[in-house]
Chain A
Protein backbone atom coordinates (compact mmCIF):
# COMPACT_ATOMS: atom_id res chain seq x y z
CA UNK A 1 0.00 0.00 0.00
CA UNK A 2 1.32 3.44 -0.90
CA UNK A 3 1.63 5.54 2.24
CA UNK A 4 3.14 8.88 3.11
CA UNK A 5 4.24 9.82 6.61
CA UNK A 6 5.58 13.02 8.09
CA UNK A 7 7.76 13.46 11.15
CA UNK A 8 7.59 15.32 13.44
CA UNK A 9 3.86 15.88 13.85
CA UNK A 10 4.57 19.24 15.46
CA UNK A 11 7.55 21.52 15.70
CA UNK A 12 8.17 24.78 17.55
CA UNK A 13 11.19 26.93 16.75
CA UNK A 14 12.34 30.48 17.56
CA UNK A 15 12.20 33.08 14.83
CA UNK A 16 15.26 33.13 12.57
CA UNK A 17 16.08 29.46 12.92
CA UNK A 18 16.60 27.23 9.88
CA UNK A 19 14.51 24.06 9.98
CA UNK A 20 13.85 20.82 8.13
CA UNK A 21 10.55 19.01 7.73
CA UNK A 22 10.59 15.34 6.77
CA UNK A 23 8.38 13.28 4.50
CA UNK A 24 8.68 9.53 3.86
CA UNK A 25 6.92 7.44 1.24
CA UNK A 26 6.70 3.66 1.06
CA UNK A 27 6.83 3.16 -2.71
CA UNK A 28 9.93 4.52 -4.46
CA UNK A 29 8.20 4.46 -7.87
CA UNK A 30 7.09 8.00 -7.25
CA UNK A 31 6.16 10.26 -10.16
CA UNK A 32 6.41 13.57 -8.37
CA UNK A 33 5.98 15.07 -4.92
CA UNK A 34 4.29 18.29 -3.86
CA UNK A 35 4.69 20.29 -0.69
CA UNK A 36 1.71 22.34 0.54
CA UNK A 37 1.02 24.82 3.27
CA UNK A 38 -2.32 24.79 5.12
CA UNK A 39 -3.39 27.59 7.42
CA UNK A 40 -6.05 26.77 10.08
CA UNK A 41 -9.46 26.21 8.50
CA UNK A 42 -8.16 27.15 5.07
CA UNK A 43 -7.28 25.52 1.78
CA UNK A 44 -3.99 24.10 0.55
CA UNK A 45 -1.39 26.40 -0.97
CA UNK A 46 1.11 24.68 -3.25
CA UNK A 47 4.70 25.50 -2.32
CA UNK A 48 6.91 23.31 -4.47
CA UNK A 49 6.62 20.43 -6.94
CA UNK A 50 9.56 18.07 -7.48
CA UNK A 51 9.51 15.72 -10.45
CA UNK A 52 10.97 12.23 -9.95
CA UNK A 53 13.90 13.12 -12.22
CA UNK A 54 14.85 16.10 -10.04
CA UNK A 55 16.82 16.14 -6.79
CA UNK A 56 15.66 19.49 -5.48
CA UNK A 57 13.59 22.60 -6.08
CA UNK A 58 13.93 26.06 -4.58
CA UNK A 59 11.52 28.92 -4.10
CA UNK A 60 12.69 31.87 -2.04
CA UNK A 61 13.52 30.66 1.47
CA UNK A 62 12.19 27.17 0.72
CA UNK A 63 14.18 24.26 -0.64
CA UNK A 64 12.71 20.81 -1.18
CA UNK A 65 14.75 17.71 -1.91
CA UNK A 66 13.76 14.27 -3.16
CA UNK A 67 15.63 10.99 -2.67
CA UNK A 68 13.69 8.21 -4.32
CA UNK A 69 16.07 5.44 -3.28
CA UNK A 70 15.57 6.16 0.41
CA UNK A 71 11.90 7.11 0.04
CA UNK A 72 12.39 10.55 1.55
CA UNK A 73 11.76 14.19 0.84
CA UNK A 74 12.71 17.15 2.99
CA UNK A 75 11.49 20.74 3.07
CA UNK A 76 14.12 23.17 4.30
CA UNK A 77 12.93 26.58 5.50
CA UNK A 78 15.63 29.18 5.95
CA UNK A 79 15.47 32.04 8.43
CA UNK A 80 12.00 31.13 9.71
CA UNK A 81 9.46 33.87 10.43
CA UNK A 82 6.26 33.89 12.54
CA UNK A 83 4.31 34.10 9.27
CA UNK A 84 5.64 30.64 8.37
CA UNK A 85 3.51 29.15 11.15
CA UNK A 86 1.12 26.67 9.51
CA UNK A 87 0.70 22.98 8.79
CA UNK A 88 2.98 21.68 6.06
CA UNK A 89 1.78 18.72 4.01
CA UNK A 90 3.64 16.59 1.54
CA UNK A 91 1.80 14.57 -1.10
CA UNK A 92 3.10 11.92 -3.48
CA UNK A 93 1.92 11.17 -6.99
CA UNK A 94 2.44 7.70 -8.38
CA UNK A 95 1.45 8.39 -11.93
CA UNK A 96 -1.19 6.59 -13.86
CA UNK A 97 -3.87 8.45 -15.70
CA UNK A 98 -5.16 10.43 -12.77
CA UNK A 99 -2.09 11.69 -10.88
CA UNK A 100 -4.06 11.63 -7.64
CA UNK A 101 -2.24 12.94 -4.58
CA UNK A 102 -1.54 10.72 -1.57
CA UNK A 103 -1.08 12.97 1.45
CA UNK A 104 0.93 12.71 4.62
CA UNK A 105 -0.52 13.70 8.01
CA UNK A 106 1.37 16.99 8.07
CA UNK A 107 3.75 18.82 10.39
CA UNK A 108 2.31 21.67 12.45
CA UNK A 109 4.98 24.38 12.59
CA UNK A 110 4.98 27.19 15.13
CA UNK A 111 7.61 29.92 14.78
CA UNK A 112 7.90 31.88 18.00
CA UNK A 113 8.67 35.62 17.73
Chain B
Protein backbone atom coordinates (compact mmCIF):
# COMPACT_ATOMS: atom_id res chain seq x y z
CA UNK B 1 0.00 0.00 0.00
CA UNK B 2 1.44 3.43 -0.93
CA UNK B 3 2.58 5.55 2.00
CA UNK B 4 4.11 8.92 2.77
CA UNK B 5 7.76 8.66 3.79
CA UNK B 6 9.90 11.18 5.65
CA UNK B 7 13.63 11.53 6.27
CA UNK B 8 15.41 11.80 8.57
CA UNK B 9 13.45 10.29 11.42
CA UNK B 10 15.41 12.40 13.92
CA UNK B 11 17.44 15.54 13.29
CA UNK B 12 19.55 17.27 15.93
CA UNK B 13 20.89 20.72 15.12
CA UNK B 14 22.42 23.76 16.77
CA UNK B 15 20.42 26.95 17.15
CA UNK B 16 20.90 29.19 14.12
CA UNK B 17 21.64 26.35 11.72
CA UNK B 18 19.60 25.57 8.62
CA UNK B 19 17.72 22.27 8.39
CA UNK B 20 15.90 20.60 5.52
CA UNK B 21 13.23 18.03 6.25
CA UNK B 22 12.33 15.71 3.41
CA UNK B 23 9.11 14.01 2.45
CA UNK B 24 8.04 11.76 -0.40
CA UNK B 25 4.24 12.02 -0.76
CA UNK B 26 2.09 9.31 -2.30
CA UNK B 27 2.82 9.40 -6.01
CA UNK B 28 -0.56 10.34 -7.50
CA UNK B 29 -1.45 12.88 -4.81
CA UNK B 30 -1.91 16.54 -5.66
CA UNK B 31 -2.05 18.42 -2.35
CA UNK B 32 0.79 18.51 0.14
CA UNK B 33 1.05 19.71 3.72
CA UNK B 34 3.41 20.25 6.60
CA UNK B 35 2.18 20.12 10.19
CA UNK B 36 4.10 20.21 13.44
CA UNK B 37 3.50 18.94 16.96
CA UNK B 38 5.39 20.42 19.87
CA UNK B 39 5.72 17.87 22.66
CA UNK B 40 2.48 17.64 24.62
CA UNK B 41 0.61 20.05 22.34
CA UNK B 42 -1.84 19.86 19.44
CA UNK B 43 -0.85 19.07 15.90
CA UNK B 44 -0.69 22.46 14.11
CA UNK B 45 -0.99 23.29 10.43
CA UNK B 46 2.04 25.02 8.91
CA UNK B 47 1.56 25.19 5.15
CA UNK B 48 -0.26 23.68 2.20
CA UNK B 49 1.12 23.34 -1.32
CA UNK B 50 -0.69 22.75 -4.60
CA UNK B 51 0.24 23.17 -8.23
CA UNK B 52 3.80 24.13 -7.31
CA UNK B 53 2.90 26.98 -5.05
CA UNK B 54 1.87 27.68 -1.47
CA UNK B 55 -1.92 27.76 -1.20
CA UNK B 56 -2.12 28.66 2.49
CA UNK B 57 0.26 29.21 5.38
CA UNK B 58 -0.25 29.71 9.09
CA UNK B 59 1.11 32.46 11.33
CA UNK B 60 3.84 30.06 12.41
CA UNK B 61 5.15 29.81 8.85
CA UNK B 62 7.21 33.00 8.83
CA UNK B 63 10.13 34.07 6.62
CA UNK B 64 12.39 31.48 8.26
CA UNK B 65 10.37 28.68 6.67
CA UNK B 66 10.15 27.66 3.03
CA UNK B 67 8.84 24.69 1.08
CA UNK B 68 9.80 23.25 -2.25
CA UNK B 69 8.87 20.42 -4.57
CA UNK B 70 12.09 20.28 -6.56
CA UNK B 71 11.63 17.19 -8.69
CA UNK B 72 8.01 16.05 -8.78
CA UNK B 73 8.47 13.47 -6.03
CA UNK B 74 10.16 15.11 -3.05
CA UNK B 75 8.55 17.79 -0.89
CA UNK B 76 10.87 19.65 1.45
CA UNK B 77 10.53 21.99 4.42
CA UNK B 78 13.49 24.27 5.08
CA UNK B 79 14.03 26.20 8.29
CA UNK B 80 16.69 28.83 7.59
CA UNK B 81 17.90 29.68 11.09
CA UNK B 82 16.54 27.32 13.70
CA UNK B 83 15.39 28.48 17.13
CA UNK B 84 14.93 26.47 20.31
CA UNK B 85 11.16 26.77 19.91
CA UNK B 86 11.32 25.02 16.53
CA UNK B 87 11.94 21.75 18.37
CA UNK B 88 8.96 19.58 17.49
CA UNK B 89 7.77 16.61 15.46
CA UNK B 90 7.19 17.66 11.86
CA UNK B 91 4.67 15.72 9.80
CA UNK B 92 4.22 15.72 6.06
CA UNK B 93 0.81 14.81 4.61
CA UNK B 94 -0.69 14.43 1.17
CA UNK B 95 -4.08 13.86 -0.43
CA UNK B 96 -5.37 13.27 -3.91
CA UNK B 97 -8.66 15.11 -4.15
CA UNK B 98 -11.30 16.00 -1.56
CA UNK B 99 -10.59 13.13 0.75
CA UNK B 100 -8.38 11.63 3.41
CA UNK B 101 -5.04 13.19 4.21
CA UNK B 102 -2.31 10.60 4.66
CA UNK B 103 0.49 11.35 7.08
CA UNK B 104 4.12 10.33 7.15
CA UNK B 105 5.84 8.97 10.27
CA UNK B 106 7.31 12.37 11.12
CA UNK B 107 10.74 13.90 11.70
CA UNK B 108 11.66 14.74 15.25
CA UNK B 109 13.66 17.99 15.20
CA UNK B 110 15.72 18.84 18.26
CA UNK B 111 17.33 22.29 18.38
CA UNK B 112 20.11 22.67 20.97
Binding site for B on A (CB under 8 A): 32, 34, 36, 41-46, 49, 89, 91, 96-106
Of B33, B91, B108, which contacts A100 at CB under 8 A? B33
Kindly state the separation between the CA atoms of A51 and B26 in the bound complex, as whole angstroms.
22
State whether the Cβ of B31 lies closer than 8 Å to any Cβ in chain A.
Answer: yes
A42–B106 CB distance below 8 A = yes
Please indicate the chain B residues that have their CB under 8 angstroms from the CB of A103 in the complex: 42-44
Kindly state the separation between the CA atoms of A105 and B41 in the bound complex, as whole angstroms.
7
Please indicate the chain B residues that have their CB under 8 angstroms from the CB of A91 in the complex: 43
Kindly state the separation between the CA atoms of A96 and B100 in the bound complex, as whole angstroms.
15
Using A96-B56, A99-B95 as known contacts, say yes or no to A46 and B45 having CB atoms under 8 A apart: no
Please indicate the chain B residues that have their CB under 8 angstroms from the CB of A100 in the complex: 33, 45, 48, 56
A101–B42 CB distance below 8 A = no
Please indicate the chain B residues that have their CB under 8 angstroms from the CB of A41 in the complex: 108
Contact code string B17-47 (vs A, CB < 8 Å = 1, else 0): 0000000000000010101000001111100
Kindly state the separation between the CA atoms of A104 and B33 in the bound complex, as whole angstroms.
18
Interface-central residue, A41, A97, A98, A104, by most chain B CB under 10 Å = A98
* A-B CB proximity, top 5 nearest: A43-B105, A98-B48, A44-B103, A98-B56, A103-B43
Using A49-B99, A91-B43, A103-B42 as known contacts, say yes or no to A97 and B104 having CB atoms under 8 A apart: no
CB of B10 to closest CB in A, whole Å: 10
